Amino acid sequence: MSADTSPKNLDANPPVDGSELIRFDKVTKRFGSNVVLDELDFSVASGKHVTLIGPSGSGKTTILRLLMTLTSPDSGSIKVNGDYLTHEQRNGKLVPAGDKHIREVRKNIGMVFQQFNLFPNMKVLRNITEAPVTVLGLSKDEAEERARELLDMVGLGDRCDAYPTQLSGGQQQRVAIARALAMRPQVLLLDEVTSALDPELVAGVLDVLRDIARTTDITMLCVTHEMNFARDISDRVLMFDAGRVIESGSPDKMFTEPEHERTREFLSAVL
Ligand code: ADP
């Protein structure tokens, strides 16, 4: 399937609302004949916490992976902080983005994965300082100072010298959260970050995320099955079905009086 990202399909001069951090315009993503996202439009305002809910396979993780440029859309455009992630201006024309442009825009985005993905051969502190030093150009001292602050924040200030395998899954995930924040991203993507954890370790990770949501101005885009957590932290909840947003609203509205039959069915199965 050829990628249809030609400029004619773009909203070449869309209004940029100063508070809009993420914007998907008519984003379509297919895997073979499977249309995973179907001309998806949505936006997230700066500083807001938005949770994506919906049945397995409805395209939620694909949205986060598109933002991390781990995969690319077949058509449509994605903007982060007013810059196209999918395209760039070259000689006055909008063309598919090159690697350098993608790296620049992606600096605004941090992601925490289901499977932690820490570097197993590096101690905890180095896991956190590696990218700030190599990508942002921070000095080792600056990066270590910031890493220690973040490790204190996630309750692991005393584990700087441990290797990931010496930590519990919950502790590893808290290191992964600190590592994402060390890049000072404007948006934090959270992809089912507690799904791989033993049940007794889930609360510690969610408490750290609740604190971050409460005490920082970072924008969060979250895919989770933890509905109580979603209810606590979200400003807005988007219900996905078959690659489209079928309903959205405040957590109160979505969890207590959803309008759409599919939302009611989904919530009654998971709550
Ligand atoms: P969700 O996060 O809502 O469970 P996903 O975004 O993970 O959904 O997946 C949406 C659909 O895309 C699923 O049908 C899944 O099988 C398919 N899919 C995701 N990634 C790939 C891939 N790399 N190759 C083929 N199909 C994929």
In DSSP terms, which residues pair with 51 in a beta bridge?
A: 222, 237
Q: Whose CA is nearest to atom 27 of ligand 1?
A: 31
The predicted structure's pLDDT at residue 260:
95
> If pLDDT is split at 50, 70 and 90, which confidence band does 92 have?
confident
Q: Which residue's C-alpha comes closest to atom 23 of ligand 1?
A: 31
Residue of the nearest CA to atom 22 in ligand 1? 31
Mean pLDDT of 103-114: 91
The first and second tokens of residue 141, run together, are 């001292």
ipTM of the modeled complex? 0.97
131 Cβ contact list (under 8 Å, min separation 6)? 179, 182, 183
Ligand 1 atom at minimum distance from 65 CA: 6
**Tens digit of each residue's pLDDT (9 = 90 or more) over 46-71:** 999 999 999 999 999 999 999 998 99
Instruction: Identify residue 30 by its one-letter amino acid code.
Output: R
pLDDT at 64: 96
Contact by Cβ (8 Å): 112, 172: no
**Model confidence, pTM:** 0.91
Q: Give the Å distance between the CA of 53 and the centre of ligand 1.
A: 14
Beta-bridge mates of residue 249? 237
Number of Cα atoms under 13 Å in the Cβ half of residue 78: 27
Reported confidence tier of residue 103, pLDDT bands at 50, 70, 90: confident
| Ligand 1 centre distance from Cα of residue 134 (Å) | 32
Q: Is the pLDDT of residue 4 over 60?
A: no
Q: Closest by alpha carbon to 248, among 43, 64, 75?
A: 43
Encode pLDDT of 239-263 as tens digits. Answer: 999 889 999 999 999 999 999 999 9
> What are the tens digits of pLDDT across the range 145-192?
999 999 999 999 999 999 999 999 999 999 999 999 999 999 999 999
- Contact present, 118 and 179 (Cβ < 8 Å): yes
